[in-house]
Structure 1
Amino acid sequence: MFTGSLWRTSEDPAEIGILNWLSWDNSLPDKQSLMKFVYYGGSVEFFFITLVIVLAVTAYGFYNNRFMWRVTVGLEAIANGVGRFFAWAGLLMVLQQIVIVFMQRIFTRPDISIGFGIPLEFDISWFAEELKLYNALVVALCVTYTFVQGGHVRVDLIYSAVSHRTKRVIDMVGSILFMMPGAILVWMYGWYFLWRHLIVPKVNATDGLDRLVLKARALRWNVETVGFSPNGFTGYFIFKILLVAFAGLIFLHAIAFFYRSYLEFVEGEESEGKYLDRDTLGEGEDAYEGTH
């Protein structure tokens, strides 16, 4: 099996780092580096390295609850930061739809031109289909933000009727048995689904590292730019990237949710919502109050 550091450059495939391809010059070492990156991104090795790191952090967190609180708050800050930023995509989607309607119905223009000098100019159908991208940004990148804010709809049959400690046990079990495995499955399928729309020859989850490095001799970029209509949106490869980002955010927040549930279980009911950064509409009002 090929090994090597992240960045080391060499003509020997065994010595080529998996990140050399970031300084792309279309050389064989860069192609082999990219194939190694593709392999390790969805590999058993990557899974177990991640698992060992999570277990090590968790074990130390059991010993030092203050450390676990810091990790929890940090992971929730990532969810909030990413979500609050990309939530603006919803406003952009509304504004762009208004522009499309005005251009079509009032100015009867077949295209929209944006910019100065050399403008960005596409058919109106391109901008109309591109609205899906804003929706995908909100769905994929705001999902954990919404979870932190308590904005997801919950079908509650027994949860509200049980004690505080029982709720925390349910939350811990749910994060381990549902959130984490679900995120891992989406990542594994999404990772190779993404790269099959970025490069040729096609890569598969069943390909070993040796086989992928051999395929590197024929590797070339083949980014998907095919739209659903003749003049439609052509950046559908971005949706594949968002699928992988979605899985990564869910996995990270599953860890945060498990940590918070454990800490609230240990510290008791008075710790519920401790250090939780939620948006508010005003003094003492949750932005998502009444939605869950």
Structure 2
Amino acid sequence: MQEERGLSFADTIGALTEGLGWMFQNIGLAFYNLGYAVANPQLWLDWSDKQSIMRFVYYGGSVEFFFVVFTAFLIVTIVGMMRHQIMWAVVRGLEGFANTVGRFFAWAGLLMVIQQIVIVFIQRVFARPDMSFGFGIPLQMDISWFAEELKLYNAMVVCLCATYTFVQGGHVRVDLIYSGVSFRTKKVIDMFGSLFFMMPAAVLIWMYGWFFMWRHLIVPKPSASDTIERLVMKSRALRWNVETIGFSPNGFNGYFLFKILLICFAGMVFLHAIAFFYRSFLEFVEGEGSENKYLDKDSLGEGEEAYEGTH
């Protein structure tokens, strides 16, 4: 039994050593892979070449791409820990990106309401089966098409405004423990959450969503298990086959857009996880005086101040 336990322990150490070696090897290769991709953009950006499309599909969800992003994150983190202003600049940039995108696409909610009103008005008052928008060559579709398109506006708000809502502190959170701990403990919880919940969740959604998206855009359908060599071979028969099937005969037929939005959501959540980790670290190091530093939050202006003054 002791010998079996010893072998088991040795196997565990060996597997751990092998795993660490694999990780550091990929971190080292990340510099080469990034340099090669930048020096040879025609290999993956020239979409007139079918092989370039397949290379783009492969590397977008590959281990190589993950370690390029991971290595960049490590470098920026190390530099930012030595120079806090650099880290604050990254925080402001990423939060500004989330705010800009969120504030723009939040108007999709208003557009959704207006379009729903127009649909009801056209259908009930004028008894028209279709609607037409635009100048010159208008977009004329069945009313059911515009009714189902409302899902797209809702998806835009959900996917592209999620990080904006996070910056603004609008997400619901259950503070069973968090609200009762000290300031620095809160920052440790925030850092842990961003590293071990937000980032892994975003990576998993990206990895599954990336190939899910491309399987509805091209044929032969790529798979996450395909090697680069196999995908290049498949490129000989490649053709675009964009999903245009609606749930109803005359319904909305641009459902491939939802797959693209899923990828955008995963990417934005991952970027904001970095921003949230950096902000939490900086506030932990610099103390309570730096809480919400450079935070660009929306307000209702004088109306909000008046409301707070009366309560």
TM-score by length of 1: 0.90
Corresponding residue number in structure 2 for 1:102: 121
Asked if residue 269 in structure 1 is aligned to residue 295 in structure 2, the reply is no
* Distance in 2 of aligned mates of 1:255 and 1:5: 24
Report the residue type matching 2:142 in the other structure: D
Q: 1:19 aligns with which of 27, 40, 45?
A: 45
Contact 1:198-1:223 at 8 Å conserved across structures: yes
Task: Please report how far the alpha carbon of residue 270 of structure 1 lies from its aligned counterpart in structure 2 after TM superposition.
Answer: 1.1
Contact 1:195-1:203 at 8 Å conserved across structures: yes
Corresponding residue number in structure 2 for 1:132: 151
Corresponding residue number in structure 2 for 1:172: 191
Q: Which has the larger radius of gyration?
A: 2
Corresponding residue number in structure 1 for 2:179: 160
Q: How many pairs align?
A: 272
Contact 1:126-1:231 at 8 Å conserved across structures: yes
TM-score by length of 2: 0.85
Q: 1:256 aligns with which of 253, 260, 275?
A: 275
Task: Please report how far the alpha carbon of residue 5 of structure 1 lies from its aligned counterpart in structure 2 after TM superposition.
Answer: 4.3
* Distance in 1 of aligned mates of 2:88 and 2:263: 27
Corresponding residue number in structure 2 for 1:65: 84
Give CA-to-partner distance per residue, 1:75-107, whole Å, 9 cap, x none.
000000000000000000000000000011111
Asked if residue 231 in structure 1 is aligned to residue 257 in structure 2, the reply is no
Q: 1:181 aligns with which of 197, 200, 214?
A: 200
* Distance in 1 of aligned mates of 2:78 and 2:303: 36
SS in 2 for 1:234: coil
Contact 1:200-1:221 at 8 Å conserved across structures: yes
Report the residue type matching 1:37 in the other structure: F
Asked if residue 83 in structure 1 is aligned to residue 83 in structure 2, the reply is no
Corresponding residue number in structure 2 for 1:149: 168
SS in 2 for 1:18: helix
Contact 1:86-1:142 at 8 Å conserved across structures: yes
Give CA-to-partner distance per residue, 1:32-54, whole Å, 9 cap, x none.
00000000000000001110000
SS in 2 for 1:281: coil
Structure 1 gap ranges (5+): 10-15, 25-29
Report the residue type matching 1:86 in the other structure: F
Assess, with a 3 A threshold, how the Cα gap between structure 1 residues 195 and 98 changes in structure 2: closer, same or farther.
same
* Distance in 2 of aligned mates of 1:161 and 1:116: 59
277-286 vs 31-40, which moves further: 277-286
Task: Please report how far the alpha carbon of residue 156 of structure 1 lies from its aligned counterpart in structure 2 after TM superposition.
Answer: 1.1
SS in 2 for 1:113: strand
* Distance in 1 of aligned mates of 2:143 and 2:247: 14
Contact 1:187-1:247 at 8 Å conserved across structures: yes
* Distance in 2 of aligned mates of 1:285 and 1:207: 55
Contact 1:171-1:261 at 8 Å conserved across structures: yes
Give CA-to-partner distance per residue, 1:127-167, whole Å, 9 cap, x none.
00000000000000000000000000111101111110000
SS in 1 for 2:43: coil
* Distance in 1 of aligned mates of 2:245 and 2:238: 20
Q: 1:240 aligns with which of 259, 272, 279?
A: 259
Contact 1:199-1:223 at 8 Å conserved across structures: yes
Contact 1:7-1:18 at 8 Å conserved across structures: no
Q: 2:73 aligns with which of 45, 54, 65?
A: 54
Assess, with a 3 A threshold, how the Cα gap between structure 1 residues 284 and 7 changes in structure 2: closer, same or farther.
farther
Corresponding residue number in structure 1 for 2:225: 206
Identity over aligned pairs, percent:
71
Q: Which structure has more helix as a fraction of its residues?
A: 2
SS in 2 for 1:74: helix
* Distance in 2 of aligned mates of 1:176 and 1:147: 16
